[in-house]
């Protein structure tokens, strides 16, 4: 299957403002990109694309004073298969973990393992190890938190979400990550596109999605505490310790976000044009 993904962000900048945007599709999906994943701006500004310390693409530029439109419209091949379920995946002892996984055992900005470890061991100390333990954590978070955009707060941490029992997708992911790390399971935060493919379409505005990956049996597996079911068409943009490492945009000066749109649609035929987005499509790339 093919999935059309994209976004449009409109900023107002009172002065020249350096910005870093983490919006390009993750390098692990590079071979799946059919129509280029190219961040563009109006007016045009020179952009430098670099890989950060976590292996994510970051786009750097200086926004000029006034209104700046940032947009992209890409096409991605996807297998159409739901997230992999491996119920026999085993927990790896801390002393046997590869060095690159150890980073994802420690507490981080939004995932306070020091506060949540006693809670985790009380709730999950007797659960089966490996996949069963991660799934028990996901089940708990899924039912413990109420989802709602009105609960969004950029400073909310996993501990605060646990206490308030409400949040958005990133809060579900942060709480599950913190509980996994508290149980000696490496876990990392993921952000990306997740459309309503294979599920009833939601009336809520499309947004970027947050989920997490746990390291079991020598590889990373996808888990989603908000939806708590394998999903189709998940396209990663960035991975890190938590949302602080994969911020969609970081501005080094005063800015005002005037408009924000995201789309993720399965393509069955050549899609209708989106006003003002240009025409990056190759008709022979669409089936």
Give the residues across from 108 on adjacent strands. Answer: 111
Going along the chain from its start, the domains and CATH numbers come out as: 2-80+247-278 (2.60.40.2250), 94-246 (3.10.620.30)
Mean pLDDT for the stretch of residues 69-91: 96
Cα 48 vs. chain centroid, distance in angstroms?
A: 22
Q: Which of 145, 137, 229 is nearest to 185 (CA)?
A: 137
Q: How many residues does the chain have?
A: 287
Q: Which residue has the higher pLDDT, 203 or 45?
A: 45
At 203 the pLDDT is 81
Whether 271 has a pLDDT exceeding 60, the answer reads no
CA distance 238 to 220: 14
Lowest mean pLDDT across 71-75, 236-240, 274-278? 274-278
Q: How far is CA 9 from CA 12, 37, 214, 257, in A?
A: 10, 15, 31, 7
Q: Which residues of 245-280 are buried (b: 16+ CB within 10 A; e: fewer)?
A: bbbbbebeeebeeeeeebbbbbbeeebeeeeeeeee
pLDDT 10s digits, 93-106: 999 999 999 999 99
pLDDT 10s digits, 168-182: 999 999 999 999 999
At 269 the pLDDT is 53
Q: Does pTM surpass 0.85?
A: yes
Residue 270 confidence class, pLDDT cut points 50, 70, 90: low
Torsion from C-alpha of 199, 225, 262, 23, nearest 10 degrees: -130
């Amino acid at each position: 299957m093919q999935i059309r993904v994209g976004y449009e962000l409109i900023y107002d900048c009172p002065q020249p403002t350096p910005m870093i945007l983490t919006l390009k599709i993750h390098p692990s999906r590079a071979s799946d990109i059919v129509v280029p994943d190219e961040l563009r701006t109006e007016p045009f500004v020179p952009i430098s694309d670099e890989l950060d310390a976590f292996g994510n693409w970051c786009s750097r530029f200086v926004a000029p004073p006034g209104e700046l439109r940032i947009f992209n419209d890409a096409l991605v091949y996807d297998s159409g298969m739901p997230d992999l379920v491996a119920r026999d995946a085993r927990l790896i002892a801390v002393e046997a973990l590869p060095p690159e996984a150890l980073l994802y055992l420690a507490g981080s900005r939004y995932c306070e393992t020091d506060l949540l470890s006693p809670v985790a061991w009380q709730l999950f100390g007797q659960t089966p190890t490996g996949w069963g333990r991660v799934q028990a954590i996901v089940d708990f978070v899924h039912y413990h938190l109420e989802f709602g955009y009105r609960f969004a707060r950029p400073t909310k941490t996993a501990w605060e979400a646990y206490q308030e029992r409400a949040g958005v997708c990133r809060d579900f992911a942060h709480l599950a990550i913190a509980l996994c790390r508290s149980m000696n399971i490496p876990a990392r935060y993921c952000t990306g596109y997740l459309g309503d493919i294979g599920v009833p379409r939601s009336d809520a505005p499309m947004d970027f999605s947050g989920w997490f990956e746990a390291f079991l049996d020598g590889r990373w597996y996808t888990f989603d505490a908000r939806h708590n079911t394998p999903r189709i068409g998940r396209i990663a943009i960035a991975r890190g310790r938590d949302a602080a490492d994969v911020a969609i945009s970081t501005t080094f000066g005063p800015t005002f976000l005037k408009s924000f749109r995201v789309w993720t649609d399965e393509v069955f035929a050549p899609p209708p044009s989106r006003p003002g987005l240009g025409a990056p499509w190759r008709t022979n790339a669409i089936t």
